[in-house]
Amino acid sequence: MTILVLNSGSSSVKYQMFNPEKKQLLAKGVVERIGMAGAMLTHKPFDREEIRLSGEILDHKVAIEYILSILLSKNHGVIKDKSEIAAVGHRVVHGGETFSESELITSDVIKEIVRCMDYAPLHNPLNLKGIRATQALLPDVPQVAVFDTAFHQTMPSHAYMYGLPYVLYKRHGIRRYGFHGTSHLFVSDRLSELTGKPLEEQKVITCHLGNGCSAAAIKEGKSIDTSMGFTPLEGLLMGTRSGDLDPAIVLHIMNQEELTMHEANTMLNKHSGIQGLSGISSDMREIEEEYNENNRAQLAFNVFCYRIKKYIGSYAAAMGGLDVIVFTGGIGENSSMVRDLVLSELGFLGIQLDDKLNRAGEKGEREISIKGSRVKIFVIPTNEELVIALDTMRIISKNN
Ligand code: ADP
């Protein structure tokens, strides 16, 4: 059995093919520059060299056709016949309040995904394009939608409501939804496997620190709060996103700089965060390299870490205690400097980082707290595509 995982973006479709029973990755790749000159497919079977093919790839349907043909090809493929694809799992960014778990895609599910488009106008329409193209190309293969928001649907109303007129929640669904759900779910599940301790007995904070960043408070295995909100803009400082700010600033700047809504949106999402503060880069590696020479790199780094520290403190309070902190994502997994500053002076919460283990430069799943630390600290690499594949398998088995 194989499961194809698709992540359809504006000009790209990323894919991974799994044997879900063995949790084995068979191939991965991406089609980029869809609808533009220089469109390209990069494909890597797990046991052979990466290849690149260019071609005219006008839309998502052609992109997925390309992906299927390379997966079936004699020299670079990993399957012999389309019938070996048991199901396709699609990443869908926003599932609103309707979806608290993954769903087999039916016409009713599609209607709901369309309804959620207003919440994620940049993402859901593209995810849907991928779903419709796959339905046309593989009409007999079941498809499953796996939502970034679903894991956080367990948040209580006191965590997800904003202090705005209640009617806006009723009329427009204005509330906090949270994102990166598959990642927070994956690393918390792995944590319980690694420690042999059920999540029901643990209070965990997971920090997903990549280009986008979010923290989640997971109590008894359920997300009870998370830092992203109505959109993925809220919360921690990110590569190019501002994270938390006084909403009055947006109105003020729009007025002072005569910005349109689109321009303000671009400023907050693309020109803020680490990039905006440092004026150097959104890439944490470059910020770390410049840390000792450049004040603005230092400032961006310090703001980034301070905000994570504040969320850790507030989530410990929200859960009435803390047992484990997990770091994941490109920064969380690799930056000992970030983990060090984030966790400094948190000894009063029972958090004690082992400096040697933190800096050892190892890869993979590991514990980095000192032996007697009351709160354990783990690094667990995330694997969102594997979660999508496993959940897709679970949903199709349930529906068979
Ligand atoms: P995405 O959210 O796009 O999946 P990633 O999870 O790959 O992104 O994270 C990208 C971030 O991880 C970048 O800021 C990058 O600089 C950072 N990163 C990757 N490796 C390191 C490293 N060795 N040290 C510090 N930061 C790193």
Instruction: Tell me how far the alpha carbon of residue 168 lies from the centroid of ligand 1, in angstroms.
Output: 36
Closest ligand 1 atom, residue 274 Cα = 14
* 122 pLDDT above the threshold of 80: no
Percent of the chain at pLDDT above 70? Answer: 100
Average pLDDT score, the chain: 95
Q: Domain map of the chain by residue range?
A: 2-147, 196-384
Q: Give the distance (Å) from ligand 1 centre to CA of residue 378.
A: 17
**Measured from the CA of 212, which atom of ligand 1 is nearest?**
2
Report phi then psi at 73, rounded to 5.
Answer: -70, 150
- Would the CB of 286 count as within 6 Å of ligand 1? no
Which residues, listed in sequence order, are joined to residue 89 by a DSSP beta bridge? 5, 144
Cβ(329) – ligand 1 distance below 6 Å: yes
Look at residue 172 and tell me whether its pLDDT is greater than 80: yes
273 in contact with ligand 1, CB cutoff 6 A: no
C-alpha 255 to ligand 1 mean position (Å): 35
CA-nearest residue, atom 27 of ligand 1: 331
Q: pLDDT, tens digit, for every residue of 248-287?
A: 999 999 999 999 999 999 999 999 999 999 999 999 999 9
Contact 7, 13 (CB under 8 A): yes
Q: Give yes or no for a contact between 327 and 340, defined as CB atoms under 8 angstroms apart.
A: no
Query: Which secondary structure element, helix H or strand E, spans residue 87, and what is its range?
Result: strand 85-92
Asked if residue 284 has its Cβ within 6 Å of ligand 1, the reply is: yes
Checking if the pLDDT of 120 tops 90, the result is no
> Which of the residues 47, 148, 354, 391 is marked catalytic?
148
Q: Looking at residue 390, what is its pLDDT?
A: 96
* Mean pLDDT for the stretch of residues 136-149: 96
φ/ψ bin of 295: left (φ > 0), alpha (ψ from -120 to 50), beta (otherwise): alpha
Index of the ligand 1 atom closest to the CA of residue 286: 16
pLDDT band at 118 (very low <50, low <70, confident <90, very high): confident
Q: Which CATH number fits domain 2-147: 3.30.230.10, 3.30.420.40, 3.40.50.150, 3.40.1190.20?
A: 3.30.420.40
**Residue with CA nearest ligand 1 atom 4:** 210
Identify whether the C-beta of residue 312 lies closer than 8 Å to the C-beta of residue 325: yes
pLDDT given at position 377: 98
Res 327 pLDDT > 80: yes
Say if residue 154's pLDDT is above 90: yes
The dihedrals phi and psi of 203, each to the nearest 5 degrees, come to -110, 115
**Contact present, 179 and 91 (Cβ < 8 Å):** no
Q: Is the pLDDT of residue 123 over 90?
A: no
In Å, how far are 28, 154, 220, 333 from 364, measured between CA atoms?
20, 29, 25, 8
CA of 364 to the centre of ligand 1 (A): 15
Question: Which residue's C-alpha comes closest to atom 12 of ligand 1?
Answer: 330
Between CA 78 and CA 184 the distance in angstroms is 30
| 196-384 fold | Nucleotidyltransferase; domain 5 (3.30.420)
Asked whether 12 and 3 are in contact (CB, 8 A), the reply is no
Sheet holding 213-219: strands in order across? 222-226, 213-219, 203-209, 324-328, 376-379, 366-367
Q: Classify 116 as helix, strand or coil.
A: helix
Confidence check: pLDDT of 302 > 80: yes
CA distance 320 to 111: 40
**Torsions phi, psi for 27 (to 5 deg):** -165, 155
Asked if the model's pLDDT at residue 83 lies above 80, the reply is yes
* pLDDT beyond 90 at 316: yes
Answer whether 2-147 and 196-384 agree in fold.
Answer: yes
* Residue 283 alpha carbon to ligand 1 centre in Å: 7
User: Does position 226 have pLDDT exceeding 90, yes or no?
Assistant: yes
pLDDT value for 270: 92
Q: H helices within the chain, ranges in order?
A: 60-72, 107-115, 124-137, 157-160, 166-172, 181-195, 247-256, 261-270, 273-278, 284-290, 295-319, 329-334, 336-343, 355-359, 384-399
Q: Does ligand 1 come within 6 angstroms of the Cβ of 336?
A: no
pLDDT band at 71; cut points 50, 70, 90: very high
Buried b (16+ CB within 10 A) or exposed e, 287-317: bbebbeebeebeebbebbbebbeebbeebbe
- Evaluate whether 90 touches 14 at the Cβ level (below 8 Å): no
Classify the phi-psi angles of 392: left when phi > 0, otherwise alpha if psi is within -120 to 50, otherwise beta: alpha
Residue from 93, 283, 284, 327 to probe ligand 1 pocket by mutation (most atoms less than 8 Å from CB): 284
- Looking at residue 30, its pLDDT comes to 96
Average pLDDT over residues 129-152: 96
Taking residues 126-152, report their average pLDDT.
96
- Ligand 1 centroid to residue 329 C-alpha, Å: 7
DSSP 92: E
Q: What percent of the chain has pLDDT over 90?
A: 94
In which band, very low, low, confident or very high, does the pLDDT at 398 lie, cut at 50, 70 and 90?
confident
- Residue range 176-199: mean pLDDT, rounded: 96
From 206, 280, 331, give the residue whose CB has the most ligand 1 atoms within 8 Å, as the site to mutate. 331
- In angstroms, what is the span from residue 373 Cα to ligand 1's centroid? 27
Q: Look at residues 133, 144, 22 and name the one whose alpha carbon lies nearest to residue 68.
A: 133
Say whether pLDDT at 298 is over 80.
yes
Our mutation pick for probing the ligand 1 site, out of 335, 338, 340, counting the most ligand atoms within 8 A of Cβ, is 335
Residue 400 has what pLDDT?
76
Mean pLDDT of 331-356: 97
Q: Which tens digit of pLDDT belongs to each residue from 372-386?
A: 999 999 999 999 999
**Mean pLDDT of the 138-152 span:** 97
Half-sphere exposure of 255 (CA within 13 A, CB side): 5
91: CB partners within 8 A, 6+ apart: 5, 6, 7, 8, 127, 146, 148, 182, 384, 388
On the question of pLDDT at 236 being above 80, the answer is: yes
DSSP labels for 352-386?
-B-HHHHHS---SSEE-B-TT-SBEEEE----HHH
The pTM of this model reads 0.93
Atom 24 of ligand 1, residue of closest alpha carbon = 335
Lowest mean pLDDT among 117-121, 219-223, 250-254, 260-264: 117-121
- Active site (annotated) includes residue 148: yes
Residue 283 CB–ligand 1 contact under 6 Å: yes
